[in-house]
Structure 1
Amino acid sequence: MDFEYDAKTEDYRKRLLAFMDEHVYPAESSFHTDGWEPPAILASLKEAAKEAGLWNLFLPGEHGAGLTNLQYAPLAEITGRSPAVAPAALNCAAPDTGNMEVLAEFGTPEQQERWLKPLLAGEIRSAFAMTEPQVASSDATNIGTRIERDGDDYVINGRKFYITGAMNPNCKVFIVMGKTDPDAARHVQQSQILVPRDTPGLTVKRGMTVMGYTDGDHGGHAELIFENVRVPATNLIGVEGGGFAISQARLGPGRIHHCMRLIGMAERALELMCTRALARTTFGKTLAEQGVIQDWIAESRVRVEQARLLVLKAAWLMDTVGNKGAHTEIQAIKIVVPSAVEWILDKAIQTHGAAGLSQDTPLAGLWASARMLRLADGPDEVHKRSLAHRELKRYRSGS
């Protein structure tokens, strides 16, 4: 690996850093919302991002900026310094990113025209409806929602839970994961299908909080009910039984994007910790002179550097040998990075005292996001289980 940014990446970095200073950081104080409506300032931020050429940076190929994972990593890290504002402003926010990737790779021309095109333009939002309250959804083969063929339509029945982005009124379409053939082999029972928000039988039952936050800045999270929801068979993404494979293709990039942004969250937390430590005095010394604070600062820097190196390695492997070849590293970063960043945020909060819990710093919200990401896209324990199985396989007799 070459750790020097190439000319294209460096150009994007300079423009993005300037955009953060000029537009994103000044917008933070007025961006947050107590409800589900997008903050009013978001529209102008998106226009500014388009004018600056900082749009759809996450998406390779013809539909996006054409960046590799390794080129996008330092840019996503920068946006992670303000994760509620910057990704949304640049049209690089989950779950739209993963949904656009799915539609770009697996969607029909008609599906791309109706849904991908407005998503790429930032005109609508979307959600990915996979997890369910009655089953352990970290094992996607558990999904119980039924998608049954009926003539020229599919009929959907089920209940979904913690569906990110669903409370945003601009969320116009759901990609729904469900079972089309419960009797098929375990990994080909599932399919994915497009369900417009206004389809009869689809009910957004309630918004759900994260650590007490509505998380409205990210479009919120919702519980959904599907009662005889009927959509055309042409809304199926890919083929029947292809849902599990599509979800794996979707989650790989999603996991690394989260980890890239987490590095930026950690850098901002460390910056705030150092600034606070130098400004506050206790027992005749600044906090920066206290050994325990110095230990936290040093340990934070080490953890950031370790996490970043592993994320960059995963990005490099995804570019060179593909997502499947980078499977071990993708799982490793999903285990390591949220936990490391959660620890750093905890120490930054502790350094700030009660102020670290308040709305006067971004730390409490960042901590809630980092803690959530130890569950989102698969909990730590599931990734550890899979990683251990792969490691043990190398030593089993006959393997």
Structure 2
Amino acid sequence: MTRKAFVVGVGMTKFEKPETGDRQYWDMVREAGGAALHDAGIAYGQVEQVPVGYCYQASTAGQRAAYELGLSGVPVYNVNNNCATGATALMLARQFVAGGVNDCVLALGFEKMTRGPLGGSASGGDFSTSPVSRHYGVMAARHGFEKSPPTAQIFGNAAREHMERHGTTPEQLATVGVKNHRHSVRNPYAQFRDEYTLDEVLDARTIHAPLTKLQCSPTSDGAAAAVVASERFVEEHGLGERAVEIAAQAMATDTEESFASGSCVDAVGLPMSRAAARRVYAESGLGIEDVDVIELHDCFSINELLTYEALGMCAEGGSGELVADGATTYGGQWVVNPSGGLISKGHPLGATGLAQCAELVWQLRGEAADRQVPGARVGLAHNIGLGGAAVVTLLRRG
């Protein structure tokens, strides 16, 4: 990558429960994409390429969605990388710009989902033809396969292993839910905006022990978008005051380390998250100590704790104490998931990574209203998809 890339416009819809409205996915993209273009102060005709992320719609749904913004004939790419889809679309946009291919690219992400747990039923534990068969095989060999939702099982079993290995407590896991639900109260885009006590999170319905419902991300409908531009485009269009630099970005996928230990902690993505973070720190010359605000992939409370360790925010096994001590909320060393995170903001798969980008851009511009992190200048986004992909993005405002 030889050129700088900047996010100059962001937009998103409010995330909603599936099947609660009559909006189609293209309606949501028209709203989110239109907002991003308006935020950048540009027209769709100035966009040169459009990567579009989604998981639940048919092939070329990206074109159908993007056509709501204009019929300029530019290339549209359909992107599917499980829960990391949104950040993957953003990464493609950044590569087009930083690699000198384009000066202005629009990344879109959306999802119109169905109610119920992600991954459906366990189907008797037969995932032999699934793309995540190796991951569930690790879990089945150590923990068996139960009737609870499979994604909750594998992350719940990762939580059990972390508790056995490091003494992490149910209260520490639940504190993640308490924190993120509390943060979402201030976010008008969040699917849920209710605050809960620690006891309420602990006493909520168990999905797969030790994880309760209020520690699990819901399925959601929603869309998000980001305009990524070159330094030349920023200068020519007078966008310097609104531009946020993508200082570094990296994607990692599973390696032998993900499966060799036989641990769900590794199978759900800790090694690839750690690898992507290290590459971002090396590329940017910044470390986690330089970061002010973080949007990370808390699909389940345990994954927030695992990501603290992967990002180097604490030593291995120290994440439970970190969240319990208040280090990851307002007044602490970092503010993690000021949006409410996936647990409370919602998780429309294709939109999640771009919604993280939108929140961080607003934070670094000082436009996050009453959820603003004071003095935020550096933000980090972490978006992960089981099966697997981990994308870490470092954003910086000069």
Highest Rg: 1 or 2?
1
Normalised to the residue count of structure 1, the TM-score between the two structures is 0.27
Normalised to the residue count of structure 2, the TM-score between the two structures is 0.27
Q: Which has the higher helix share?
A: 1
